[in-house]
């Protein structure tokens, strides 16, 4: 009887330790993601401020009755450099994912923050296209939706892994359709892409949250803190991309244009 009590106590202590570790792991994931989001929006706001002026004497091109592009804005949004700005985050993600195993956890975290700044550069044009009020409103809507979906993914007992392949194929389809739409500029296709994009990244938010939790529980026994640190950063990257993409698609649907 004493031996059974010892085993039960040890198992309970181990479970409590894993639960505590999981909470710390998820806090690191959400904390890293939140810092990345802050960097992105500060970078986007700052760059858009440098790209636009109300002084005609410093202008390169006029974009509205009272706003003009500076030379920086013209280079970012009107020159061939815009293609590099547009696709830089996608290239960065592939490079980061391929190289993270050769990085330390500290280096990976720094690279993630650099990526967040690059993303800010890529989406900075939203401050030229949409009103500030609608950007804030859509951001709040996205935050509420993201929180609910992520909580569902964390708490649900339903296995969401079966949706993974379908959702990833959906993302690939969105990328292809978006590239095609750059050249054909179809408003109907833009609307369809935005609706599907919201649905796909909503699903990915729940799926990725459960995957982060499951991966930690599978690997917690290893005690490899370096690996767990990098896993937290990759988890933060996944949820960050889910949030940013859901925000951008919702902004296309509901944002008020300047």
C-alpha–C-alpha distance, residues 190 and 249, integer Å: 10
Which of the residues in the chain have pLDDT under 70? Answer: 1-16, 58, 65, 221-224
The CA distance from 121 to 115, in Å, is 10
Write down the pLDDT at residue 6.
46
Tell me, what's the pLDDT at 12?
Answer: 52
- CA neighbor of 147 nearest in space, from 246, 20, 229, 237: 246
Note the pLDDT of residue 184. 87
pLDDT of residue 222: 64
The model's pTM is 0.88
The answer to whether 115 and 40 have CB atoms below 8 angstroms apart is no
C-alpha distance from residue 181 to each of 23, 89, 186, 194 (Å):
42, 19, 6, 12
């Amino acid at each position: 009887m004493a031996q059974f009590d010892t085993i039960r106590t040890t198992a309970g202590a181990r479970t409590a330790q894993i639960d505590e570790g999981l909470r710390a792991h998820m806090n690191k994931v959400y904390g890293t993601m939140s810092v990345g989001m802050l960097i992105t929006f500060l970078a986007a706001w700052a760059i858009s401020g440098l790209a636009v002026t109300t002084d005609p004497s410093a202008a390169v091109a006029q974009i509205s009755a009272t706003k003009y592009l500076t030379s920086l804005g013209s280079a970012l949004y009107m020159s061939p450099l815009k293609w590099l700005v547009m696709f830089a985050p996608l290239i960065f993600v592939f490079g980061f994912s391929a190289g993270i195993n050769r990085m330390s956890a500290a280096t990976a975290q720094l690279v993630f923050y650099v990526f967040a700044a690059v993303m800010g550069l890529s989406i900075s044009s939203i401050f030229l296209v949409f009103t500030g009020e609608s950007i804030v409103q859509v951001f709040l809507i996205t935050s509420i939706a993201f929180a609910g979906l992520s909580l569902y993914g964390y708490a649900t007992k339903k296995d969401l892994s079966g949706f993974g392949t379908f959702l990833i194929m959906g993302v690939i389809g969105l990328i292809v359709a978006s590239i095609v739409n750059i050249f054909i500029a179809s408003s109907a296709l833009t609307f369809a892409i935005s609706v599907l994009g919201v649905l796909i990244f909503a699903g990915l938010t729940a799926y990725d949250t459960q995957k982060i939790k499951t991966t930690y529980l599978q690997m917690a026994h290893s005690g490899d803190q370096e690996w767990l640190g990098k896993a937290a950063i990759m988890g933060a990257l996944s949820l960050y991309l889910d949030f940013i993409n859901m925000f951008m698609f919702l902004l296309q649907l509901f944002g008020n244009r300047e």
